[in-house]
């Protein structure tokens, strides 16, 4: 049970979703879509960058222990949001480069908006998962916020699309053994 892989599993799902829906048009090759930082894009035409992970504010963390049997309880999962940036990179000549990048970003928006729900059983094997679905939501970041993400990369800003995937459940591996109540003794006093 590798529930800690759920973050990379979600990133892989996003990549596969975009590859299946963006090739061969507007991107010719599926290998041209992948995970990268904006400063290390390699030969990608569409880069997907996980730039932040935050505790979820949309879903309140359950503090109740999860029963795993008669004598074992598991600690509750942590619920997080994943924040991504998608950037298009065209290798065409300067006259058409920005048009190509805008077409690529437009298609990425279309794919994400048309597929706003991720069923977690499509992501990873999470037999005890509390959350069965995650949502993809486009973010309305202002230019300054996007620039801050780029500024950390020390490269010139490029037009990018930001979105979040939430809620994502990170299951705990901590367990606690308990003793169940198996006998009760009641004493009743008679009032005089």
166 φ/ψ angles, rounded to the nearest 5 degrees: -155, 160
Query: What pLDDT does 1 receive?
Result: 47
How far apart are alpha carbons 142 and 151 in whole angstroms?
A: 14
Domain boundaries, the chain: 3-177
Which residues on adjacent β-strands are paired with residue 169? 79
Q: How confident is the model at residue 75 (pLDDT cuts 50, 70, 90)?
A: confident
Alpha helices in the chain (DSSP H): 6-22, 94-114, 143-151
Edge-to-edge, what's the strand order for the sheet holding 33-35?
Answer: 33-35, 46-55, 78-88, 160-170, 133-138, 117-119
pLDDT in tens, 132-141: 899 999 999 9
Query: What pLDDT does 64 receive?
Result: 72
**Least confident interval from 15-19, 37-41, 132-136, 171-175:** 171-175
Residue 125 pLDDT > 60, yes or no?
A: no
pLDDT in tens, 40-49: 888 999 999 9
């Amino acid at each position: 049970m590798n529930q800690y892989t759920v973050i990379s599993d979600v990133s892989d799902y996003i990549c596969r979703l975009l590859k299946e829906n963006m090739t061969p048009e507007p991107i010719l090759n599926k290998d041209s879509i992948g995970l990268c930082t904006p400063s290390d894009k390699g030969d990608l035409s569409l880069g997907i960058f996980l730039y932040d992970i935050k505790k979820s504010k949309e879903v309140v963390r359950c503090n109740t222990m999860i029963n795993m049997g008669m004598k074992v309880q598991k600690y509750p999962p942590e619920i997080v949001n994943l924040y991504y940036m998608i950037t298009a990179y065209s290798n065409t000549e300067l006259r058409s480069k920005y048009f190509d990048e805008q077409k690529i970003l437009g298609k990425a928006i279309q794919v994400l908006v048309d597929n706003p729900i991720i069923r977690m059983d499509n992501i990873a094997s999470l037999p005890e998962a509390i959350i069965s679905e995650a949502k993809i939501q486009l973010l309305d970041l202002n230019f300054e916020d996007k620039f801050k993400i780029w500024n950390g990369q020390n490269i010139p800003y490029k037009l990018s699309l930001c979105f979040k995937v939430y809620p994502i459940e990170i299951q705990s591996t901590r367990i606690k053994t308990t003793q169940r109540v198996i006998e009760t003794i009641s004493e009743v006093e008679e009032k005089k």
